[in-house]
Amino acid sequence: MSLGCDVARLPCDVAVLPQPMTTTYDPHHPMYLDEAQTRTALAQAFDVCNGCRKCVDLCPSFPAMFRYASQGGTSDAGQMTPAQQDHVIDECFQCKLCVVGCPYGPGQQETAHGFAHGSAHGSAPSYVLDIPRLMLRADAMRNANGQVTVRDRLSSALIGHADLVGKLSVQLARFANRLVGAKPGSVVRRLLAVLTGVASNRVLPLFAELRFSRWFDLHPKVRVGKKQGRVTVFPTCVVEYQEPAIAQALVRVYEHNGIECGLSKAACCGAGYLHSGDLAAFTKVAVDTVATLAAEVRKGNDIVVPQPACSYVLKHDYVDYVGGPDAQLVAQHTYDAAEYLMKVHRTEGSSLDMQFTGEVPDAITYHAASHLRAQKIGLQSRDLLKLLGAKVSLVEQSSGVESLAGLRTIKADSSLRASEQLGKLVNRARGGGVPGNVVCGDCHLSNTAIAEQTGVVPLHPLQLLARAYGFAAD
């Protein structure tokens, strides 16, 4: 099913695509989970990509897509079989990077509703391409139509229940860590993979013995001096149960700078369900979380999130999947942890304390997490780190595991290749390990992948800032 166009003739040719775009990306559309319509939408989108090919190096999805679209000496994504489409979908680990520079992506031609309804030229609908969002639709369609294996259902359930798994694992941290901390490829990990669908070949983040919210309740309340803001910390499951030191550093740095911190009553954003195709379970979590966070915003708080995939969900996915004024309100008031600090620093009348009397590294190798780049908010963490006076080298490469989906067996090989490439780039940027060079990144899952590939354990930017102010880690 060729669209009969190549990218050189876009966008006028794609402007006459027959299918209304609302079906393609709108999860509330009655045909959203229809297999025939979903597969047609995939063929249309893959045809546009096949004409463009800009994303060929981003992940294994695109090379597979282009190979299938070119089979038999033709150039037609419409000839792909459902199994070939499924292979392309399975290789996607939801890094979102293909929308960042896409000339047909959201923001280039999109309407205020998030879906295109008309072209700039008049009546014909314009074409908005969002491959990750289409992959989510395809996963949801396959899930709804019973096209996933029992093991995939198991891993979806496990990853989806990140909050419950985290609660139990923190209680039984020593036992849980003997399982998830077992050597990749070992018998324990292979058994775990069979039972849960979690990749046996990847290093997994360990669980903490004291969860962040417990630490928050115990830590002495600080009376902030000149008040510069009031936030609700949405710690996310990853930080709450696996790396609470990130949120502890966040609270110390914020309070030090006159930003009052409260703790979110909402626990999990539901990304695990969304990225596994369980639309009903995600929407249920999302509706509750939006209501809880919107109430915090109405009390005058902004929401800060120290894990990029989750701040992406609050800023973007809730607007699409829940919608309405509360979801918009939450999206407008949600900030990544460094983004909020830079807002304070750049706003007239407020600023960060620039007296860094603690430990400041000479040089920092900074990994820009894909889900932050996809938020198109600039490199706020990089700018924050520059305030320390250190030389900052930037690494922009997906880890393949920015969302937990990358740790599923089905995506293990493709995400591992991305992590290996990231490891090489980090090692190159840090000059092979020059003394005084610290590795740093916003995403704890990516940081775990960097540690796996390089042997160096990265810190979150807020942890570096806490050190620079002289705060000792707990």
Q: From start to end of 388-459, where are the E strands?
A: 391-395, 437-441
Check: CB of residue 458 under 8 Å from CB of residue 441: yes
Q: Distance from CA of residue 435 to its chain's centroid?
A: 31
- DSSP helix/strand/coil, 52: helix
**To the nearest whole angstrom, how small is the minimum distance from the Cβ of residue 92 to ligand SF4?**
3
The nearer residue to ligand SF4, 84 or 94, going by C-beta atoms, is 94
The nearer residue to ligand SF4, 133 or 345, going by C-beta atoms, is 133
The nearer residue to ligand SF4, 275 or 345, going by C-beta atoms, is 275
**To the nearest whole angstrom, how small is the minimum distance from the Cβ of residue 442 to ligand SF4?**
17
**To the nearest whole angstrom, how small is the minimum distance from the Cβ of residue 104 to ligand SF4?**
5
The nearer residue to ligand SF4, 99 or 259, going by C-beta atoms, is 99
The nearer residue to ligand SF4, 2 or 292, going by C-beta atoms, is 2
List of residues contacting ligand SF4 (CB under 6 A): 48-49, 52-55, 58-59, 61, 92-98, 102, 104, 129, 131-132, 135
**To the nearest whole angstrom, how small is the minimum distance from the Cβ of residue 271 to ligand SF4?**
14
Closest by CA position to 320, among listed 120, 2, 27: 27
Backbone angles phi, psi at 384, to 5 degrees: -65, -45
**To the nearest whole angstrom, how small is the minimum distance from the Cβ of residue 79 to ligand SF4?**
18
Distance CA 212, CA 239 (A): 7
The nearer residue to ligand SF4, 50 or 381, going by C-beta atoms, is 50
Check: CB of residue 250 under 8 Å from CB of residue 306: yes
The nearer residue to ligand SF4, 244 or 308, going by C-beta atoms, is 308
Burial tier of 460 (Cβ tally within 10 Å: 0-12, 13-18, 19+): buried
Query: Given the structure tokens 């709804």, which residue do they identify?
Result: 144
**To the nearest whole angstrom, how small is the minimum distance from the Cβ of residue 400 to ligand SF4?**
8
**To the nearest whole angstrom, how small is the minimum distance from the Cβ of residue 373 to ligand SF4?**
11
Of the chain, the end-to-end C-alpha distance in Å amounts to 59
**To the nearest whole angstrom, how small is the minimum distance from the Cβ of residue 356 to ligand SF4?**
36
Distance CA 31, CA 38 (A): 8
Query: Given the structure tokens 């900052």, which residue do they identify?
Result: 392
The nearer residue to ligand SF4, 96 or 430, going by C-beta atoms, is 96
Ranges of H-type helices in 124-172: 131-144, 150-160, 162-171
Q: Distance from CA of residue 70 to its chain's centroid?
A: 31
Pairing status of strand 391-395 against strand 437-441: unpaired
**To the nearest whole angstrom, how small is the minimum distance from the Cβ of residue 102 to ligand SF4?**
3
**Strand pairing partners for 366?**
394, 440
207: CB partners within 8 A, 6+ apart: 166, 169, 170, 173, 176, 177, 180, 241, 242
Judged by phi (left if over 0) then psi (alpha if -120 to 50, else beta), residue 230 lies in beta
The nearer residue to ligand SF4, 93 or 312, going by C-beta atoms, is 93
Check: CB of residue 14 under 8 Å from CB of residue 119: no
**To the nearest whole angstrom, how small is the minimum distance from the Cβ of residue 419 to ligand SF4?**
13
Specify the DSSP element, H or E, that contains 462: helix 461-468
The nearer residue to ligand SF4, 128 or 465, going by C-beta atoms, is 128
